[in-house]
Structure 1
Amino acid sequence: MILLSLNGCSQPSTLQEIRNEGVLHVITRVAPSIYYEGRGGPTGYDYELAKLFAEELGVKLRLRVADDNTEVLSVISRDFAHIGMAGLSAQPLFDNQYKSLPTGIEAQSIVVYNRDVERPESLSDLAGERLHLVSDSNHEYQLQAITNTASGVSWQVHPGLDAAGILARLETGELSYAVVSSNELELNHVFFPQVKQAFALGDAMQLAWLFPINQDDSLVNAAKAFMEKMRENGTIAQLAERFYGHLDHLNYVGARTFMHHVENRLPKYEGLFRENASVFNMDWRLLAAIGYQESHWRPNAVSPTGVRGLMMLTRNTANYIGINNRLDAEESIQGGAKYFRIVHEKIPDRIAEPDRTWFALASYNVGFGHLEDARRLTTSAGKNPDRWMDVKEFLPLLAQKEWYKKTRYGYARGHEPVLYVQNIRRYYDVLARVMKPTERVAAAPSSFVGLEQSADGRSNMDSPEEDAEHRASLPPELGMVPPTL
């Protein structure tokens, strides 16, 4: 009987072992596309998914940060972690080394170059040149697959560099040509305006989580079911919008101009942004980003419609918030911070960050009433009116008669608030990377100081009584129109 019992015993599955220990072990590397320490703590597309997966399993997420992909792959191949997050797509050579699971983000290997050298149209134009790439990437596999059709192309792998390091050397002209992943290029391109995109080496492929080949399928299957659930409930789409949905609105000229102004104009007003942001409980870099979108940090800016000053306040708005001289930088920044706090507090508390801030920015630009119209259109279409990625699809419809005639507040140039929010998000991203945050900001559960948390909200709208109360408490025009620059 004892022998039968022993023979009948089986090892617990990988999933059961994880639940028994209460820990999901993940190995990753630092990259804005995967994992990094944000102002509100760890974040990143893959990290947020992994955190949700651990919660789904009812266990803790334990993260180990590797120096590079070489270390990530080594740890996974030796079965020293349950999941590897390396920002790689599944490759044929992985078949006998790892199990993989797509994460919802697609990327291509992109040839990039310093704009002072001639643009290559294909690999044949790079005969005699050297491409530079990070180690253990998708790029070397792509290059090896097509070398037969492009003789004379060589490449050098840089084990000690990440994508940002490659791009930095391309920016200075130390390197002329390189290959980077399209998603990492999108996230970093604004910092390297001298870098230009040439062509892709192949089709876009989904990036994947990697699992040890010796694991049984219990964890992979659980992760597949989790990913499918996240796709169906819109979480993957929302995460993709959160990390990638605002990256295409700062071109070469805009990026160079912005960085020039960060160095030369921002220092004059940084103290005012910090001081007033602290008073009104917001991240000073967000306030500065709004100011840049409004006036490019010019205190004497005036638009054709009469809004003026660094924060481009309308006369009625300035009167409402007690600002006497809109062309005075200190008064203008104080007024902008105060008014944004008013607008932000009107956004329903159920809408979590960072979406609540994106809604507040849209309201700051186009007006609360028009924003509510767009949210009602969103509800009518069966989408979530408390989620920015849904509402921004419907704001542009306010410029079309067939749609705005159905709304309470009528016509609005609905494309403008979408671009307005996109631009400020991008400016904020840059400032968050290059500038320190305020030393101490009073936190509140629904505060917009961090911009790091996001969650779905309920879909019920404000009542007509609440709308009427809001209209009675605010000046007639809520939008702040950017000047002609």
Structure 2
Amino acid sequence: MSMLLRLLCCLLPLWLSACGRIDPPEADGRLVVAIREAPAFFQSEGDSVSGFEHDLVTAFAHSLGLKAHFIKAADPYELNDLAVAGRVHLAASMPIGNSHLQYSIPIRTVGQWIVGHSDVLGPETLDDLAGQTVEVPAGSPLADSLRGLNEKSRPTVVEVPGVNEMDLLERVTAHKAELAAVHDIHFDVGVNFYPEASPLLQLPGKLELGWAFGGKDAERLREKADAFIAAARADGTLARLQDRYFGHIKRINSAGIARFIDDAKTRLPQWRRHFHAAQDLTGIDWRLIAALAYQESKWDPLATSYTNVRGMMMLTEDTADYLRVRNRLDAGESIRAGARYLAELVEQVPVTAGYPDRLWLALSAYNLGMGHFRGARAMAAKFKRDPDVWYEMKQVLPQLARPEVYARLKSGPARGGEAVIMVENIRSYYDVLCRFEAPHASAYPASIRPR
């Protein structure tokens, strides 16, 4: 082979790699981002996209005067390859450590867990892993952690292609896999969908996750990202996003979630058409109305409290009269009326509150009444809290039960802590329904929804 041909063979891969490198984001006004789809970070349904990383990256792009454009990576291998090849400006939720990439300051730290089915006796110590088979997503750093255990503790590691941690939790609960390794953030979210999954054993060490940069603008973008993340941590943006996506996920225990999933299979089908009709009437996602109804009555149309609050949506007599409800125990009438009432409350929350905060605030007013809700907003200013942000109002509402607080309010005392619990429960129920129930295919698509 001639010297020239040898040289061409050596340079060809470098030329091909360079051809695939992306132009600076300012070239077309887009920050191109590689990301993996998982409920903890990024998820899509129709035209709706949401998630902790989605929102944080979008805010970063906006701070640069750019639009975020997301490319979904099939697995951690592809996520890493896209970053190393410089075919994206940024790869999100990357374990920090690849010497070929530059990383932002850490955004979160995650633990690593072995999980199994709750009705199967699993390993209690690292040594118990020897001889066991543990599934991990293909390309996940979890595989390296398991293979890095000493020989007497090392299990057989199976890297499953095309799955994420949520898929592995489903495999464990369906008895298709005995053990799986997942990061704690994915388990905390996933146990609300698969309550039979049980954390058995924590692996040593933690992983820091950040944004990875590998293109020709890597250093410049990394410096801007560091400044943005530091500012977001200082001004509360990170805390608010953390609360938006994870603040409610541990509110209901596994037994409660399992009971809800069972009720969704057995009770919900007979009422589904009424919830669909309520969405057509109000524009509120039917799954949110159903979550509210479950919190109120456990989908029991005959439910009655000691204060004579009655029906599927637990309407008071005054509210029922206002909404012109003839029979609170008629499931369809109650559901439609409750949805109409919630829609009215959403309209009464100031437009300065964005979604989903406006919806969570309206739900708290559904529980408290608008008078107490307005009183809480007034107190928020005195406590130097933002009344338009649910994360802030969660701290204010319980104060309505304190004499030194309600004495200053025309509305008097209120059980604001109960309103917080109600809203957080509804958020959890809604997440589960979104996992297992399809959107309502209607001429009136949901215009009021958390995502």
**Which of the residues 283, 287, 290 maps onto 2:289?**
287
Residues in 1 aligned to 2:391 and 2:341: alpha-carbon distance in whole angstroms: 24
**Which of the residues 5, 15, 18 maps onto 2:25?**
18
After superposing the two structures, state which structure 1 stretch, 25-34 or 176-185, moved more: 25-34
Q: C-alpha displacement at 1:279, in angstroms?
A: 1.0
Amino acid at match of 1:54: A
Residues 297-446 of structure 1 mapped to structure 2, 5 A cutoff? 297-440=299-442
Distance 1:383 1:38, change over 3 A: farther
Amino acid at match of 1:106: T
1:51 paired with 2:58, answer: yes
CA contact (8 A) 1:187 1:244 kept: yes
After superposing the two structures, state which structure 1 stretch, 414-423 or 110-119, moved more: 110-119
Residues in 2 aligned to 1:56 and 1:416: alpha-carbon distance in whole angstroms: 38
Q: C-alpha displacement at 1:143, in angstroms?
A: 2.8
1:141 paired with 2:129, answer: no
1:37 paired with 2:39, answer: no
CA contact (8 A) 2:115 2:179 kept: yes
Residues in 2 aligned to 1:408 and 1:106: alpha-carbon distance in whole angstroms: 45
Partner SS state of residue 191, structure 1: coil
Partner SS state of residue 178, structure 1: strand
CA contact (8 A) 1:44 1:243 kept: yes
Q: Deviations over 1:404-438 (max 9, x none)?
A: 33333232222111110011111111212222223
Partner SS state of residue 68, structure 2: strand
CA contact (8 A) 2:128 2:153 kept: no
Residues in 2 aligned to 1:221 and 1:358: alpha-carbon distance in whole angstroms: 36
1:110 paired with 2:113, answer: yes
Q: C-alpha displacement at 1:103, in angstroms?
A: 5.6
Q: C-alpha displacement at 1:121, in angstroms?
A: 2.8
**Which of the residues 255, 259, 264 maps onto 1:257?**
259
Q: C-alpha displacement at 1:203, in angstroms?
A: 5.2
Q: C-alpha displacement at 1:40, in angstroms?
A: 5.0
Residues in 2 aligned to 1:274 and 1:200: alpha-carbon distance in whole angstroms: 43
Q: Deviations over 1:444-467 (max 9, x none)?
A: xxx961322xxxxxxxxxxxxxxx
Distance 1:103 1:339, change over 3 A: farther
CA contact (8 A) 2:248 2:428 kept: yes
CA contact (8 A) 2:75 2:137 kept: no
**Unaligned 5+ runs, structure 2:** 1-20
Residues in 2 aligned to 1:82 and 1:310: alpha-carbon distance in whole angstroms: 50
Amino acid at match of 1:286: L
Residues in 2 aligned to 1:350 and 1:137: alpha-carbon distance in whole angstroms: 41
**Which of the residues 162, 179, 195 maps onto 1:160?**
162
After superposing the two structures, state which structure 1 stretch, 31-40 or 310-319, moved more: 31-40
Amino acid at match of 2:128: D
Q: C-alpha displacement at 1:229, in angstroms?
A: 2.4
Partner SS state of residue 24, structure 1: strand
2:87 alignment partner in structure 1: 80
Q: C-alpha displacement at 1:442, in angstroms?
A: 5.2
1:67 alignment partner in structure 2: 74
Residues in 1 aligned to 2:421 and 2:443: alpha-carbon distance in whole angstroms: 28
2:17 alignment partner in structure 1: none
User: TM-score normalised to the size of structure 2?
Assistant: 0.89
Distance 1:318 1:152, change over 3 A: same
Partner SS state of residue 308, structure 1: coil
Q: How many pairs does the alignment contain?
A: 431
Residues in 1 aligned to 2:330 and 2:337: alpha-carbon distance in whole angstroms: 10
Q: Deviations over 1:329-363 (max 9, x none)?
A: 12211221122122222111221111010000000
Residues in 2 aligned to 1:165 and 1:230: alpha-carbon distance in whole angstroms: 31
Partner SS state of residue 201, structure 1: strand
1:125 paired with 2:128, answer: yes
Q: C-alpha displacement at 1:250, in angstroms?
A: 2.7
Amino acid at match of 2:280: S
Q: C-alpha displacement at 1:233, in angstroms?
A: 2.9
Q: Deviations over 1:173-194 (max 9, x none)?
A: 1212211011111222222122
CA contact (8 A) 1:278 1:438 kept: no
CA contact (8 A) 1:108 1:203 kept: yes
User: TM-score normalised to the size of structure 1?
Assistant: 0.83
Residues in 2 aligned to 1:167 and 1:40: alpha-carbon distance in whole angstroms: 26
Residues in 1 aligned to 2:353 and 2:28: alpha-carbon distance in whole angstroms: 35
Residues in 2 aligned to 1:216 and 1:277: alpha-carbon distance in whole angstroms: 46
Residues in 2 aligned to 1:29 and 1:15: alpha-carbon distance in whole angstroms: 19
Amino acid at match of 1:89: P
Q: Deviations over 1:377-397 (max 9, x none)?
A: 322222211100001011112
Residues in 2 aligned to 1:204 and 1:376: alpha-carbon distance in whole angstroms: 43
CA contact (8 A) 2:22 2:88 kept: no
Residues in 2 aligned to 1:191 and 1:131: alpha-carbon distance in whole angstroms: 21
After superposing the two structures, state which structure 1 stretch, 22-31 or 306-315, moved more: 22-31
Residues in 1 aligned to 2:23 and 2:383: alpha-carbon distance in whole angstroms: 42
CA contact (8 A) 1:88 1:137 kept: no
Distance 1:103 1:342, change over 3 A: farther
Q: Deviations over 1:13-32 (max 9, x none)?
A: x9993223433221122112
Q: Deviations over 1:274-293 (max 9, x none)?
A: 11221122111111111111
**Unaligned 5+ runs, structure 1:** 1-13, 453-485
Q: C-alpha displacement at 1:268, in angstroms?
A: 0.7
1:241 paired with 2:247, answer: no
Amino acid at match of 2:81: S
Distance 1:199 1:371, change over 3 A: farther
Residues in 1 aligned to 2:36 and 2:218: alpha-carbon distance in whole angstroms: 25
Partner SS state of residue 81, structure 1: coil
Distance 1:440 1:229, change over 3 A: farther
